[in-house]
Amino acid sequence: MLKSNATFVTEFLFEGFSNFSWQHRLALFAVFLTLYFLTLSGNVIIVTIIHLDHHLHTPMYFFLAILSISDTCYTVTIIPRMLSDLLNPYHTIAFQDCVVQIFFYLTFGINNCFLLMVMGYDRYVAICNPLRYSVIMGRAACVHLASGSLGIGLGMAIVQVTSVFSLPFCDGSVIPHFFCDVRPLLKLACIDTTINEIINFVVSVCVLILPMGVVFISYVVIISTILKIASAEGRKKAFATCASHLTVVIIHYGCTAIIYLKPKSQSLLGQDRLISVTYTLITPLLNPLVYSLRNKEVKDALYRAIWQKPLPS
């Protein structure tokens, strides 16, 4: 039933970190701004190095470059506005701007989930079927897989945005979050949102459980194959190629699943905000950090670029 105070909302106000003191908000601004610049510069460096060094023109690094671009777009959608609101926590966001923000946030967030799944499949083919790797993971296949991830992100985002913004909102239009997200917006609706909650849960399951399942199965087979390698050096090298991806997967899927798969009754918005900081700031930074520090090929390419040595032919 529609509540009596339902109205056409033209703008929203983020609660964000407004309950923090000015000194705490200023400290958070400095920390978040530093992490934001590190994220942007790290992802730009990764994409540039992969583009310049032909040794990195392989499927694994192609997907890593796409992931870095997606991460950059993802953070640009959320972080600049959050930084602005830390300095002035009482700025409003127009209704249409909120629609745009949640659309791109969901598009690139979901795209990242499926890109990580695709990268897990790439590692599976490389280790479990190395003789046919170049055939299975050809250029066309890589482009189709990357395009498919983005297409799924766009489709799921359209479903979510249509579901949320078809609802009437009440006079109280304060979003208890620092960006436009599905669950906080559903709490502002003036009608029963059970159907919308179900849609959100189904989308979350498809976006998280399906990719996590594929990654889990891939790594079960990968580990089984690696353990059969006779050489200790060979096993170590095979594990090393998977360690970076597995680290990012655990952090990314773990934080996102905590937010979107736990029951509504257990959803504490203050706690959700802290976890959201992790996957909007920390996870995009981890991608270039983990892949550069744990990957010899990337470190070698960085060394050649920094010292301006000619790239080997």
Q: Is the pLDDT of residue 5 over 70?
A: no
Residue 51 CA: distances (Å) to CA of 30, 69, 94 = 32, 12, 38
Write down the pLDDT at residue 4.
45
Q: Is residue 167 in some structural domain? A: yes
Q: What is the pTM of this model?
A: 0.85
Residue, of 184 and 273, whose pLDDT is higher: 184
Strand ranges for 221-299 from DSSP E: none
Length of the chain as a residue count: 313
| Other CB atoms within 10 Å distance of the CB of residue 227 | 10
Q: Is residue 311 in some structural domain? A: no
Q: Is residue 312 in some structural domain? A: no
Over the range 12-37, which residues count as b (16 or more CB within 10 Å of their CB) and which as e? bbbbbbeeeeeeebeebbeebeebbe
Q: Is residue 7 in some structural domain? A: no
Residue, of 159 and 18, whose pLDDT is higher: 159
Which tens digit of pLDDT belongs to each residue from 251-276? 777 767 666 666 655 455 555 666 77
- Most confident option among 119-128, 139-148, 277-286: 139-148
Q: Is residue 30 in some structural domain? A: yes
What CATH code is carried by the domain that includes residue 49? 1.20.1070.10
Q: Is the pLDDT of residue 56 over 90?
A: no
Q: Is residue 163 in some structural domain? A: yes
Structural domain including 139 reads 12-299
Q: Is residue 304 in some structural domain? A: no
Which tens digit of pLDDT belongs to each residue from 210-228? 888 888 898 888 888 888 8
Domain count, the chain: 1
Q: Which residues contact 23 (CB under 8 A, 6 or more apart)?
A: none
Q: Which residues contact 27 (CB under 8 A, 6 or more apart)?
A: none
Q: Is residue 305 in some structural domain? A: no
